[in-house]
């Protein structure tokens, strides 16, 4: 079987997740990327391709080997990959769903038109004036942003004007979204669809850092409340194939979607999800793209936590724990993945890019997981000077 994987920069999800899964499934893998030099050690065939252009992807595949699947886990090229898969008659996502989920303004329009939910929202093209009727507090964000970059809470018209001006200065030419602030607990729901049925794998309760920024600091396994509402939203968005990671808030008026990420959950929570389910998650996702029905696990007992170790000051890393994997027989299994190294300079961005490392833990219950994580972080500090 020939699997084409479209990619931009390397991620752990691809290098440590999907590539080993593809090999386990017996696939021959061809990586299509605009950065082939960064995949030299991937163990896969690598071809240079402008993966942001569906026509280039189609042309490259057509002149290479017959594909059995064309897949991407990148936020940025889902529509292009879906169009290429459709051209060759392969299983894949609806390209319209990829566009609607990536574009946060279109997500709002689609959900409102379908009668699922209405959130006050305004789209700001580069030359557009500020909205005059937006309720405060409000949130400003790039229309197609990722990693909490340039997402900020504003409390009045003055803060709105300042935030928009600052973001436009950093992102000239980009369109922004301003929307009402959704107050309440933040949750995720993780799903896997095969084109006929969307299956709920589980979800997490998300703990954010201090406002006005929206940096995710911790995720804890929790059965997703508002499940039916989220499924209706996914149906309205035509999301029904492959992995999807949906973030939503349980407001006093009910669940409201924050964003729909049409790929597997990131920041190492995909590995945490696989451990919690005790299932080969990455293989399950690829099997769907290869045309097979996913065999989903039933196991969800226990607790899982992902703790992002966020830098609290600028400076230089002078001490850091290394990679940690669980020892056999540990009642609470703990992993630590360093994202920085001793000697690295830290300049705070108030985004997920301030993460220094990620601790993942799976155990029989929350109390024991919390205790194990607290002990680990106390004994293995990151030190910035």
- Domain presence at residue 109: no
| Total of domains in the chain | 3
User: Are residue 141 and residue 259 in the same domain, yes or no?
Assistant: no
User: Are residue 205 and residue 306 in the same domain, yes or no?
Assistant: yes
- Domain presence at residue 106: no
Cross-strand partners of 189: 203, 246
pTM: 0.96
User: Are residue 223 and residue 134 in the same domain, yes or no?
Assistant: no
Give me the CATH number covering residue 139.
3.30.1490.20
- Domain presence at residue 103: no
Provide CB contacts within 8 A for 169, sequence distance 6+.
Answer: none
Question: Is 269 a residue whose pLDDT tops 70?
Answer: yes
Q: How far apart are CA 6 and CA 52, in angstroms?
A: 9
Domain of 70? 2-90
- Domain presence at residue 199: yes
Helix axes 269-277, 281-289, angle to 10 degrees: 100
User: Are residue 213 and residue 324 in the same domain, yes or no?
Assistant: yes
> pLDDT by residue (tens digit) across 205-262?
999 999 999 999 999 999 999 999 999 999 999 999 999 999 999 999 999 999 999 9
- Domain presence at residue 104: no
Residue 291's region, left for phi above 0, alpha for psi from -120 to 50, else beta, is: left
Please give the share of the chain, as a percent, with pLDDT higher than 90: 95
User: Are residue 23 and residue 84 in the same domain, yes or no?
Assistant: yes
User: Are residue 150 and residue 224 in the same domain, yes or no?
Assistant: no
- Domain presence at residue 8: yes
User: Are residue 192 and residue 336 in the same domain, yes or no?
Assistant: yes
Q: How far apart are CA 204 and CA 206, in angstroms?
A: 6
> pLDDT by residue (tens digit) across 132-152?
999 999 999 999 998 889 999
- Indicate the residue among 72, 90, 108 that finishes a domain: 90
Give me the CATH number covering residue 250.
3.30.470.20
The distance of Cα 357 from the centroid of its chain, to the nearest Å, equals: 17
- Domain presence at residue 241: yes
- Domain presence at residue 339: yes
Cβ proximity of 272 and 252 under 8 Å = no
User: Are residue 193 and residue 319 in the same domain, yes or no?
Assistant: yes
């Amino acid at each position: 079987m020939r699997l084409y994987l479209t990619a931009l920069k390397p991620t752990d999800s691809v290098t440590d997740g999907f590539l080993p899964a593809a090999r386990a499934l017996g696939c021959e893998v061809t990586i299509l990327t605009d950065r082939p030099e960064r995949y030299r050690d991937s163990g896969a065939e690598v071809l240079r391709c402008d993966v942001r252009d569906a026509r280039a992807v189609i042309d490259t595949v057509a002149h290479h080997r017959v594909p059995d699947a064309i897949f991407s886990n990148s936020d940025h090229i889902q529509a292009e990959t879906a169009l290429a898969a459709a051209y060759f008659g392969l299983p894949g996502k609806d390209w319209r769903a990829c566009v609607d989920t990536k574009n946060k303004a279109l997500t709002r329009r689609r959900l409102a038109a379908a009668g699922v939910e209405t959130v006050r929202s305004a789209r700001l093209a580069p030359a557009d004036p500020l909205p005059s009727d937006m309720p405060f507090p409000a949130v400003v964000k790039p229309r197609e942003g990722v990693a909490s970059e340039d997402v900020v809470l504003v409390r009045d018209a003055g803060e709105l004007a300042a935030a928009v001006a600052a973001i436009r200065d950093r992102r000239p030419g980009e369109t922004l979204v301003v929307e009402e602030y959704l107050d309440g607990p933040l949750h995720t729901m993780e799903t896997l669809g095969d084109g006929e049925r969307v299956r709920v794998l589980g979800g997490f309760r998300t703990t954010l850092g201090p406002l006005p920024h929206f940096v995710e600091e911790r995720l804890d396994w929790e059965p997703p409340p508002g499940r039916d509402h989220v499924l209706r939203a996914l149906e309205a968005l035509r999301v029904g194939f492959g992995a999807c990671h949906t973030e939503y808030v349980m407001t006093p008026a009910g669940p409201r979607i924050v964003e729909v990420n049409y790929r597997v959950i990131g920041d190492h929570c995909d590995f945490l999800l696989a451990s919690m389910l005790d299932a080969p998650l990455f293989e399950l996702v690829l099997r769907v793209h290869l045309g097979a029905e996913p065999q989903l696990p039933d196991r969800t007992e226990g607790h899982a936590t992902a703790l992002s170790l966020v830098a609290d000051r600028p400076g230089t890393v002078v001490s850091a724990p290394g990679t940690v994997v669980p020892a056999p027989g540990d009642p609470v299994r703990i992993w630590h993945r360093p994202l920085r190294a001793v000697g690295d300079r830290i300049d705070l961005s108030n985004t997920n890019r301030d993460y220094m490392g990620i601790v993942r833990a799976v155990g029989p219950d929350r109390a024991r997981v919390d205790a194990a994580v607290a002990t680990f972080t106390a004994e293995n500090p990151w030190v910035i000077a």
